[in-house]
Amino acid sequence: MIDEPFFPTTDVLRSRDKAQLAFHERAARVAGERFGRRVFLRAVVEVSNFCRENCSYCGMRRDNRDLARHRARLDQLAELLVHHRPASVTDVNLQSGEDPVAVREIVLPLIRILRRETPLGISVCLGTLSRALYDQLRVAGASVYILKFEIADAALYARMEAPGTFEERIEHIRALAASGWNVSSGFIAGLPGQTDAALLANFSLARGLPLEGCSVSPFIPGDETPLAKAPTAEIDLTLNCMAALRLMRPRWVIPAVSALNLAEPGAGYRRGLRTGANLVTINLTPPEMREDYLLYKRDRFIMTEERILSAIEAEGLVPSNRSLAGYYQQEKSARVSGRSPRPVVAAV
């Protein structure tokens, strides 16, 4: 399958009612042709809420002095993921604030344990690190690095105090891909001050980066951020962005993010699955740590295994028995050999 020459317009991203429904159905049809009814199912564990960055939209920003900081215990996470993870999980994502101490002391040894004792595909979402740490993580056994570019408009990126500088962020994404990582990225829809041109710039940037997947997160005003009183992003805008990504890059892995439930409680997540999303995530962070992992609000909507399996069943989908890591390996092998990657459609 060859990627369709699709690029969204403002009218498409602002579509509603019948036009929007037809657009989403088209995106879901493309996902079905590529992946069948299967969606990848991974777990996420939030390792640390220490962060050296100061993003205006994130409650874990370093200037939030009211946040109780913590790092998880290695033995607790190893026991959880080796012996007590849900049977449906094929991959795990180890996520934290930008905290190199947690990377060295918790994430690296945990990856080695998981690689030795489980068949899990391993993703990490740890922010911008040194080249040495990136290399150590890959040698230990992780194969997917999630580094969201967040905002494609450099001026807005700076105003939002997004990580480092815009140029550094893009340089790290390209360097990760060049060194052998499967890189997934993403952006925020509906940020305060985000113009239509700035929104479309996210698609231009994503299209030009060496990515294997991309997410769209709706802007959620965090309780303990400078943007606490800003309006929540329109769920329809986020969903239209997700559908546009699927049509722009049919082979990409596109997640339904948990924040969809905050943008539209009770319905947002399932609507996300109707746009061609093909990755769902169960939160396995120990309960005593969840409240202070403050991406948005302390009153979080936790995607448990029961909620995830119920949502995908209600949408006529099923969990994939193949890992993300395996899918990415097949994709890369096909491109290196010059063959067109085959659709990942399996009997259910």
pTM for this predicted structure:
0.96
Domain interval for residue 310 = 10-336
The tens digit of pLDDT for each residue in 212-256 reads 999 999 999 999 999 999 999 999 999 999 999 999 999 999 999
Average pLDDT, the chain: 95
Distance between CA atoms of residues 197 and 181, nearest Å: 30
Q: Tell me if 168 is assigned to some domain.
A: yes
The tens digit of pLDDT for each residue in 80-138 reads 999 999 999 999 999 999 999 999 999 999 999 999 999 999 999 999 999 999 999 99
DSSP string of 27-61?
HHHHHHHHHTTEEEEEEEEEEE---S---TT-TT-
Q: Tell me if 123 is assigned to some domain.
A: yes
Distance between CA atoms of residues 62 and 41, nearest Å: 31
Q: Tell me if 2 is assigned to some domain.
A: no
Which single residue is written with the structure tokens 């230990």? 140
Instruction: Return the half-sphere exposure (C-beta side, CA atoms, 13 A cut-off) of residue 262.
Output: 22
In DSSP terms, 96 is beta-bridged to 48
| Domain at 174, CATH number | 3.20.20.70
Please say whether the dihedral angle defined by the alpha carbons of residues 6, 25, 302 and 286, taken in this order, is positive or negative: negative
Q: How many domains does the chain have?
A: 1
Which single residue is written with the structure tokens 């069943």? 313
pLDDT at 10 over 90: yes
Q: Tell me if 345 is assigned to some domain.
A: no
Q: Tell me if 4 is assigned to some domain.
A: no
Count of helix runs (H) and strand runs (E) in the chain = 15, 8
Q: Tell me if 343 is assigned to some domain.
A: no
Please give the average per-residue pLDDT across 15-38, as a whole number: 98
